[in-house]
């Protein structure tokens, strides 16, 4: 066994951390307050060349392995949770299906500029009546001659208010349930495509999230990504990565919150000494460290399993659950260390506390994950 990162991984991490520390982290609080898509930062960060990490060199990407890209996502989440969401949709789910199934022409037109940050991507699953349960998808795609006609409303779409194109899950066979779902590429300048306003959010506020309405939007036949009816199978191929990425974001948010609380505990005095000298305060850091180490080790093991092409649905779900629960506990403890000041918008803990809530929906809600894991265990 060998639990070490390679020298290349370590070097890559230092570079990514430096970029995030320089370009994103100092602006995190301001971005959260402003609650708008940070276009300037987007352009600045895009120029650093990370958006193509998972894509082929032919389109300007770096073809990085899963472990390398997860190192990047972990570092990115240290900067700003909202920017992390906007950028990871661009890098993973928003461009994955286009990269895998798009025609060369479509990739030249959309993927290459997305890698440069010139075009913004979105991924559309969720609708008002279907979130966890994709079988409830009502957006339809109907074949008419050489075109598909899409109609429906997608909700909660990260980058929705600013996206230049979206990958949309729609049903091509409403009677077939999950087996009737297919992916389509839809450009925002097509007639009938409408972007909704950004909705107000509790956390991850540097990303713009909103509705996308498709009112009889016509796309050419080659905008169907993959085979009709195979959408859910394809989702399964990328979900493990999304879960590891979300889990590593949890580790980073927790790290930031607890590192900040550590400094506060060292300087804040009560009853004649720094509060860091009280055992009950020290215990919070001890528990956090143990749980963070456990979650992070499992997450990187899953990333390694993905690179090794091993079956790891269960491990990915478990790792995402463990990391998120660890993070929710850590951000709560950080606000307790700040006590009254933890309730003030002038201090950092409230931002981590709010941001951490997004982890509960990304990559599967915890009820859905636990239900699956429990059933798998009972079936053995
Ligand atoms: C910040 C943010 C960004 C997002 N970005 C995107 C995006 O870019 N694209 C996109 O498509 N969506 C996006 N979403 C939506 C997200 O994917 C959904 O919130 C998620 O899939 C859960 O669906 P839901 O909110 O409809 O909850 P529901 O599925 O309605 O769940 C409601 C409750 O019921 C529970 N539940 C559901 N099924 C079961 C079950 N079988 N057993 C036990 N309990 C169950 C859930 O755990 C939850 O507690 C985003 C959400 C947020 C918060």
Q: Which residues of 21-54 are buried (b: 16+ CB within 10 A; e: fewer)?
A: eebbbebbeebbeeeebbeebbeebbeeebbbbb
Instruction: Write down the number of H helices and E strands in the chain.
Output: 13, 10
CATH number of this structure's domain 121-229, picked from the four choices 2.40.110.10, 3.40.640.10, 1.10.10.60, 1.25.10.10: 2.40.110.10
Task: Tell me, in angstroms, the distance from the centre of ligand 1 to residue 133's CA.
Answer: 8
| Closest-CA residue to 98 (of 110, 86, 113) | 110
Q: Which fold has domain 232-378?
A: Butyryl-CoA Dehydrogenase, subunit A; domain 3 (1.20.140)
Report if pTM > 0.85: yes
Q: What is the DSSP letter of 28?
A: H
154-183: average pLDDT: 97
- Identify the pLDDT of residue 153: 98
Task: Tell me, in angstroms, the distance from the centre of ligand 1 to residue 19's CA.
Answer: 32
Give the pLDDT confidence of 179-226 residue by residue, as tens digits: 999 999 999 999 999 999 899 999 999 999 999 999 999 999 999 999
- Identify the pLDDT of residue 214: 98
Task: Tell the residue nearest (CA) to atom 15 of ligand 1.
Answer: 156
Token pair for residue 353?
């506390």
Ligand 1: which of 132, 154, 157 to mutate, most ligand atoms within 8 Å of CB? Answer: 132
Task: Tell the residue nearest (CA) to atom 41 of ligand 1.
Answer: 368
Between CA 184 and CA 168 the distance in angstroms is: 5
Task: Tell the residue nearest (CA) to atom 1 of ligand 1.
Answer: 358
The answer to whether residue 76 scores a pLDDT higher than 90 is yes
What residues does each domain of the chain span?
7-116, 121-229, 232-378
Task: Tell the residue nearest (CA) to atom 30 of ligand 1.
Answer: 131
- Identify the pLDDT of residue 306: 97
284-301: average pLDDT: 98
Q: Where are the beta strands (DSSP E) in 37-192?
A: 121-124, 140-144, 147-158, 165-171, 181-187
| The dihedral formed by the CA atoms of 194, 200, 206 and 209, expressed in degrees to the nearest 10 | -30
Question: What is the DSSP track for 353-380?
Answer: HHHGGGGGTTTS-HHHHHHHHHHHHHT-
Between CA 346 and CA 336 the distance in angstroms is: 15
Query: How does the average pLDDT of the chain come out, rounded?
Result: 97
45-55: average pLDDT: 96
- Identify the pLDDT of residue 1: 86
- Identify the pLDDT of residue 305: 97
Task: Tell me, in angstroms, the distance from the centre of ligand 1 to residue 239's CA.
Answer: 14
Q: Which atom of ligand 1 is nearest to the CA of 365?
A: 47
| Closest-CA residue to 209 (of 366, 81, 48, 305) | 81
Read off the pLDDT band of 102 (50, 70, 90): very high
Residue 169's DSSP bridge partners are: 183
158 within ligand 1 shell (Cβ under 6 A): yes
Q: Which fold has domain 7-116?
A: Butyryl-Coa Dehydrogenase, subunit A; domain 1 (1.10.540)
258-273: average pLDDT: 98
């Amino acid at each position: 066994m060998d639990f070490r990162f390679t020298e290349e991984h370590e070097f890559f991490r230092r570079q990514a951390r430096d970029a995030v520390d320089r370009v994103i982290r100092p602006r995190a609080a301001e971005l959260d307050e402003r609650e708008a898509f940070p276009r300037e930062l987007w352009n600045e960060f895009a120029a650093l060349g990370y958006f193509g990490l998972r894509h082929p060199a032919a389109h300007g990407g770096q073809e990085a392995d899963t472990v390398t890209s997860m190192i990047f996502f972990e570092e990115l989440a240290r900067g700003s949770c909202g920017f992390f969401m906007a950028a990871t949709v661009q890098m993973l789910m928003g461009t994955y299906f286009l990269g895998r199934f798009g025609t060369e022409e479509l990739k030249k037109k959309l993927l290459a500029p997305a890698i440069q940050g010139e075009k913004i991507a979105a991924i559309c699953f969720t609708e008002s009546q279907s979130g966890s349960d994709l079988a409830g998808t009502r957006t339809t795609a109907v074949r008419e001659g050489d075109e598909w006609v899409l109609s429906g409303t997608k909700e909660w779409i990260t980058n929705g208010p600013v996206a230049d194109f979206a990958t949309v899950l729609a049903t091509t066979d409403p009677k077939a349930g999950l087996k009737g779902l297919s992916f389509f590429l839809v450009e925002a300048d097509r007639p009938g495509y409408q972007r909704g306003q950004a909705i107000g959010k509790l956390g991850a506020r540097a990303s713009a999230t909103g509705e996308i309405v498709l009112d009889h939007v016509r796309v050419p036949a080659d905008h169907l990504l993959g085979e009709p009816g195979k959408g859910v199978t394809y989702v399964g191929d990328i979900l493990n990565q999304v879960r590891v990425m979300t889990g590593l974001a949890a580790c980073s948010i927790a790290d930031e919150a607890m590192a900040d609380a550590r400094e506060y505990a060292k300087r804040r005095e009560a009853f004649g000494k720094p509060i860091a000298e009280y055992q009950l305060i020290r215990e919070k850091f001890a528990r956090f460290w143990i749980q963070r180490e456990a979650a992070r080790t499992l997450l990187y093991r899953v990333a390694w399993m993905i690179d090794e092409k091993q079956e790891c649905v269960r491990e990915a779900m478990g790792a995402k659950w463990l990391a998120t629960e660890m993070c929710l506990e850590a951000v709560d403890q950080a606000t307790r260390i700040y006590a009254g000041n933890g309730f003030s918008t002038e201090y950092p803990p409230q931002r981590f506390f709010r941001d951490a809530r997004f982890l509960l929906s990304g990559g599967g809600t915890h009820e859905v994950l636990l239900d699956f894991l429990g059933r798998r265990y009972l079936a053995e």
